[in-house]
Amino acid sequence: MTDTDRRDPRRWFAAAVVIVSVAIPVLDNTVLNVAIPTILREFHTDLPSLQWVITGYSLTFATLLIIGGRLGDMYGHRRMFMVGAVIFGAGSLLASVSHSVPALVLGEAIIEGIGASLLIPATLSILSTTFEGPERAIAFAAWGTVAGASVAFGPLVGGFLTTTYSWRWALRINVIAAPLFVIGALVLMHPDERPARRPGIDAPGAAMIAAGSFAFVFGLSEAASYGMLRPLQDFSVNGRVVWPASRPISIAPVAIAVAAVILVGFYAFERSKERRDRDPLFEFSQLEHLSFRYGLQTTMVLAMGQFGFLLVIPVLLQDGQHFTALRTGVYMVPMGALIALGAPIGARFTRIIGTTRVVRTGLVFEAVGLVVVALMISPHTTLLALVPGSVLFGIGVGFASSQLTNVILSEVDRDKAGVASGTNTTVRQVGAALGIAVIGSLLNAQAIRHAVRAVRASARISASVKAATIASIRAKGVNYAPAAGAPRGEVHALTQALQTSVVSGARPALLFAAGVVALGALLSLLIPTYGPPPPAATAPGVEPGEIAVAVEML
């Protein structure tokens, strides 16, 4: 009996369940971003309170990813996939019927975040351990297509549901989908193999990585709100001021410093356990695999550039040109469509130039696309102006994202796939948070500087209005809008100043993102080059026609 004969004939149907499930947690987070104004009115609350719904989800997700991956290695990835889907569906149900911010935070940020931290590493591990060779490239390409397109189409879906029906339907879809994923896993996925010896639970290591990850991602993601160095506002929990703005330093760098201390302690503790063969949560010896080590570094800078783009373009369109969320989503469609197209094309190219070269090509396309977008934007950016850069960017993300995950997991020991998958996603979350914090701060700072300069130079704005306007611009940044009831001439002048300043901030932010991705392209040169398979080895015992059918099915 050949290896192919022993392969589960249901593997592509099982992969379809896994791959489709990725869209739910990814869409869920981006969908709610555009529903924030509606929820604010419905809940009669303020923006800082509601921001914890989005921020809390990201924090919970990033905090528990490595732990979720380890639980998959210990108890089975199919089991963790089903448990994660059930928890995610339960959180969505609670959030969809909530009528207060605390209930929404509990369901969306905490319970859904826990479910996603079990679900996402399991999806990567199932694909990694189920497929080999060209089939593996196809499976990861499909995973990357769904994940990348979900990020791009999330604002469009969110705008449509919020405008036409209700933002609650973005959550109710999860309640319907979660049981279907569980049924699909039970019927189509091969049962988990019982390990010869189940490793012990590293509770101290889990506590340290959770605390360190939380503090680090919190410091990065909240730096724009609370200040990179100097405090911008009080940090409050449940209405109680924990870190006042009167202190000489912001809470963000303090959180990052605390995280560094905890994570250094985690490294020392885990290395000690590894030397004594005492079942560490994370085996740092896995970093000896060059594809894993340098692939993770490349993933971080890739995520910085990618999420920088997804931050800058909506700000440019919504704050600079006053587009609706739905129209902004429409402008993002070409990029999302090209991500969906680029991933399977990249999978095909792995058979010609190899997986690593596909990643490098994608990174170059992505960097060039960011530069083209930066050069094409203006105070009156059109969809046509964004298309060339969006095409290059989308194809580049499609090439690089999915196959980079394939490269990262290629040499990892089979029984460590869960932790490695969780680590991969954690690094991506850290890169996203870092990109949003740094690129967002650059965008805001440059926009404020140009807006203040334009207001001061304008002859149509009275001297009495200039001082108040400049103070408001410095406080609100790109979110500034002229006060209602102001004279029409002054409103027109202020609107022009804002549009010009947002473009002036967006352009260097996009160029910085391009530089970060270019750095990722250089880092990818350190990843071992995996060439195309020999012509006779399309996949062990797999006919080319079978691969084509698999692509069409996915």
Asked if pLDDT for residue 31 goes beyond 90, the answer is: no
What pLDDT is attached to residue 485?
59
* 154 — pLDDT class (breaks 50, 70, 90): confident
Higher pLDDT, 90 or 130: 90
Asked if pLDDT for residue 350 goes beyond 90, the answer is: no
Cα separation, 140 vs 136, in Å, equals 6
Quick one: how many helices (H) and strands (E) in the chain? 19, 2
Asked if pLDDT for residue 319 goes beyond 60, the answer is: yes
Among the residue ranges 131-135, 367-371, 404-408, 549-553, the one predicted with the least confidence is: 549-553
How would you write 435-497 as a 3-class SS string?
HHHHHHHHHHHHHHHHHHHHHHHCCCCCHHHHHHHHHHHHHHHHHCCCCCCCCHHHHHHHHHH
What pLDDT is attached to residue 2?
38
Asked if pLDDT for residue 534 goes beyond 70, the answer is: no
Higher pLDDT, 551 or 162: 162
Cα separation, 423 vs 420, in Å, equals 5
Asked if pLDDT for residue 136 goes beyond 50, the answer is: yes
Asked if pLDDT for residue 329 goes beyond 70, the answer is: yes
- Residue 426 in tokens: 């954690």
Higher pLDDT, 539 or 213: 213
What pLDDT is attached to residue 133?
76
Among the residue ranges 31-40, 83-92, 220-229, the one predicted with the least confidence is: 31-40
Asked if pLDDT for residue 55 goes beyond 80, the answer is: no
What pLDDT is attached to residue 1?
36
Cα separation, 207 vs 67, in Å, equals 9
Cα separation, 463 vs 389, in Å, equals 41
Residue 235's H or E segment, with its range, is: strand 235-237
What integer is the mean pLDDT of 195-219?
A: 83
What integer is the mean pLDDT of 428-452?
A: 81
What integer is the mean pLDDT of 110-131?
A: 89
Please count the CA atoms within 13 angstroms of the CA of 45 that sit on its side-chain side: 20
With 0-12 / 13-18 / 19 or more C-beta atoms within 10 angstroms meaning exposed / middle / buried, residue 267 is middle
What pLDDT is attached to residue 192?
80
Q: Percentage of the chain surpassing pLDDT 90?
A: 23
What pLDDT is attached to residue 415?
73
283 neighbors 274 (Cβ within 8 angstroms):
yes
Query: Left (φ > 0), alpha (ψ -120 to 50) or beta: where does 533 sit?
Result: beta
What pLDDT is attached to residue 540?
38
- Which of the listed ranges 25-34, 118-127, 305-314, 453-462 does the model predict with the highest average pLDDT? 118-127
What pLDDT is attached to residue 541?
36
What integer is the mean pLDDT of 426-432?
A: 82
Among the residue ranges 10-19, 113-122, 147-156, the one predicted with the least confidence is: 147-156
- Which of the listed ranges 218-227, 295-304, 318-327, 361-370 does the model predict with the highest average pLDDT? 361-370
pLDDT in tens, 357-409: 999 999 999 999 999 999 999 888 888 999 999 899 989 988 888 788 888 88
- Residue 463 in tokens: 């001297």
- Which of the listed ranges 195-204, 269-278, 492-501 does the model predict with the highest average pLDDT? 269-278
What pLDDT is attached to residue 8?
66
With 0-12 / 13-18 / 19 or more C-beta atoms within 10 angstroms meaning exposed / middle / buried, residue 463 is exposed
pLDDT in tens, 450-463: 888 887 877 677 77
What pLDDT is attached to residue 46?
65
- Residue 308 in tokens: 């920088």
pTM equals 0.77
DSSP states along 148-189: HHHHHHHHHHHHHHHHHS-TTHHHHHHHHHHHHHHHHHHHHS
Neighbours of 445 (CB within 10 A): 15
Nearest Cα to Cα of residue 524 among 401, 430, 440: 401
What pLDDT is attached to residue 358?
92
CATH number of 8-193+281-453+500-553: 1.20.1250.20
Asked if pLDDT for residue 539 goes beyond 60, the answer is: no
What pLDDT is attached to residue 114?
94
SS3 240: strand
Asked if pLDDT for residue 547 goes beyond 80, the answer is: no
Nearest Cα to Cα of residue 326 among 10, 97, 31: 31
Nearest Cα to Cα of residue 521 among 412, 373, 350, 370: 370
How is the chain split into domains, by residue range? 8-193+281-453+500-553, 203-280, 454-499
* 550 — pLDDT class (breaks 50, 70, 90): very low
Among the residue ranges 189-198, 246-255, 325-334, 535-544, the one predicted with the least confidence is: 535-544
